[in-house]
Structures are given as C-alpha cells and as structure tokens.
Amino acid sequence: MESGLTRAWVDVDLGALQRNAGAIAARAGVPLLPMVKADAYGLGAVAVARALESIDPWGFGVATVDEGAELRNAGITRRIVVFTALAPDDLREAHRYELTPTLSQPDSIAEWQRLGGRSWQLAIDTGMSRSGVRWDAVSTLRDAIAGFPPDGAFTHFHSADRNDGSVDAQESRFRTAVDALPARPSLLHTENGAAIEHRGRSPWQLARPGIFLYGVASGGEIKPEPVVHLRARIAELRTVKDGETVSYLASYRAVGVRTIATLSIGYADGLRRSLSNRGAAIVRGRVVPIAGMVTMDMTMVDVTGVPCDVGDVATLIGRDGPALLDVATVAQAADLSPYEVLTGLRSRVHRRHLDHVA
C-alpha cells in the first residue's frame, strides 16, 4: 500500500485545479494573482503553485512572510504579494525573500524604502474595515508616496457574492481613492473569484481568485470542478443491535440491526465534530450517514446494506463514482463556511497531489 494511504489522506486533483484556474482566467480576461495563502487553503502551497504555473499567473498571494519564504525556497520565482500588514522585522524578512508587501502606513512605507525595497502595493479600505488606508484618507499619504510610489493598489470586496449594490459602491470608492494618488499605479485589482464569477470580465489589470480554484463556487455563471477528495479507510466493522448506541453521549441509537463501520479519521484530522449525526461519507459509491459523535481519531458511519470490508476507502469530501460530497455540502452540514472546512484539514492527513482523480 502506498505510504500515507493506510489511514486518512487528501487527494488533490491538480488537473481540476488547473482547469478551474483556466476557466476563471478566461472569464476575467486579465492575468491572475492566485491566492495560495494558508498552505493553498490546506492543500499544499508549493504543489498548488507549481501546478498553477501552467496558466502563467502574474504572481501568487500569501498572508505571511513565512508562506512567501516557503514558496521562494521551493524555487517559485514569480511575484509573491503578502496581503497582511507587516511589522518591521517582517518587512526585513520580506526584503530578504524578495516579497512584495502591501502597505498603508507612512512609517511602513518609509521603512520599506529604507530597506531598499522596490515593489510594493497600496492597500485601500473601501468598506471591509479590516486593513488598508481608508478610501477617503488616501490624500494623507501623498507625501509618503510622492517619491516612492506603489506599483499596485487594491481593495477587497466584503460581499462579492451578493447582488446588494455593495460591489459597485466599493468600486466607486476605490476609483476615488486611486484618483487621489499622486500617480496612478500600473497594477490595480479588486476582484476575488466570486466577483469574477458574478461580473465577468475585469476592468482592472489583475484578478485574485481563491477558493474557486479549489472547487467552491459562489453561485455565479461558471462552476468549478471538485479538487479536494478527503479519504479514510474502514478500520473495523461491527453489528449493532436494535436499541444499542454508538459513540460518546450515546447520541446515535440503532433502530433495528445496523452495520457500523469505524473510519480512521476524526476531528484531530480536521473532520469537524459538528458533523456528528449530520454529515455523511461515501462507501462503495453510496452515501451513508455519520452515526454518533465524531471522535478525535475515529468516526463511525452506518453502512447497513452496503457490501464493504475492512480496508475499503470511504470518502468524506469529494467524489467516489457517481456520488459527490462537495466542500460546500459538507460545510453546510457542519454549519461552517467552506473556507473553514478546507483550512481546517490538519497536517497529519497526508496530501496526495495527482494529475487526475477518478
């Protein structure tokens, strides 16, 4: 048996990832700045970035200097933009690894210039109220950037998947902010994957897709292919009699005689406890319910009527034959966002990067 496949693992479909990137790039009509922060949403940043080289992205987006350094140490030479505010020590490390910081404070801009940094981007807050200079306060930075202008500026939509007018309002603020700069940066970008899904061609120079690449749609006009397939093996099979219980708190009680399979995966692997008695798995192409509480290292499913054996593979996220439990479906069952489901997959779950997942 292949190493890492004895217990639980994630199959990452790099072919589907590339096709998703191609689809969003074609719709945007501009180069991509794919977001590979948080270890590419839990899927392995280095492998994902290497796979995305096939679409010739402008660069890659990360959240921390360490994430950028990991890509540099793996031989990634494209631009890497760090999309969080950085402390002075982080700026020094960003310079060391030739990363592009996103700045919005006069002292940070001055420090980056003192370090000899060249490329940087201006973060503009148009309503997210998370980071960046307010759109109506950009003029306060004129002196700081007059002799050291950014090569890019951007904002972030807070509700790109909603038709509530907020995207237009934020974009109008962004235009106002850009017009207030001493010079117009050559690279402007506002849109994540959801914005491109809903709006189509970008009016800017770059687009920043994230979770769409990894197989999660936001209800727009294009649909991504599944990329993530979380698997675990059946470790034990047992017969539970009528009225007997399964797992902690006895929250599952058998109605009639049931066959229960114990899977080698639990919440310490990232299978959320909130899926207890609510989630499902696919065994031999059939969807079966989680029975009882998800435990730290094991999870039980009701496989009554499904011909299966110890060692068979169960799918907790993804496809098995005609059956599919996509990330959004699992997230809904767990009362979580899809982002939490993906980034919550733990490091002890082996990642297997494949060109194609059957």
Distance CA 238, CA 351 (A): 29
Say whether 344 sits in a helix, a strand or coil: coil
Question: Which residue out of 37, 41, 214, 252 is catalytically annotated?
Answer: 37
Produce one character per residue of 76-97: b if its CB has 16 or more CB atoms within 10 Å, e if not: beebbbbbbbbeeebbebbbeb
Instruction: Please give the full DSSP string across 106-144, using - where no structure is assigned.
Output: HHHHHHHHHTT----EEEEESS--SSSEEGGGGGGGHHH
Q: Give the span between the Cα atoms of 338 and 128, in whole angstroms.
A: 20
Residue pair 128/166 in contact (Cβ under 8 Å)? The answer is: no
Identity at 118, one-letter amino acid code: R
Residues 6+ away with beta carbon under 8 Å from 311: 233, 234
Q: How far apart are CA 287 and CA 277, in angstroms?
A: 14
Distance, C-alpha 289 to centroid of its chain: 26
In whole angstroms, how far apart are CA 300 and each of 79, 193, 233, 267, 296?
45, 36, 11, 12, 12
How many angstroms separate the first and last alpha carbons of the chain?
Answer: 18
Q: What span, in angstroms and rounded, lies between the C-alpha atoms of 127 and 164? A: 14
- Residue pair 66/42 in contact (Cβ under 8 Å)? The answer is no
* Residues pairing with 229 in the sheet: 11
Kindly provide the b/e burial profile for residues 204-213, where b requires at least 16 CB atoms within 10 angstroms of the residue's own CB: bebbbbbbbb
Cα dihedral 141, 142, 147, 150, rounded to 10, equals 60
- 37 catalytic residue (yes or no): yes
The question of whether 267 is a catalytic residue gets the answer no
Select which of 41, 97, 214, 248 is catalytic: 248
Which residues are catalytically annotated?
Answer: 37, 248
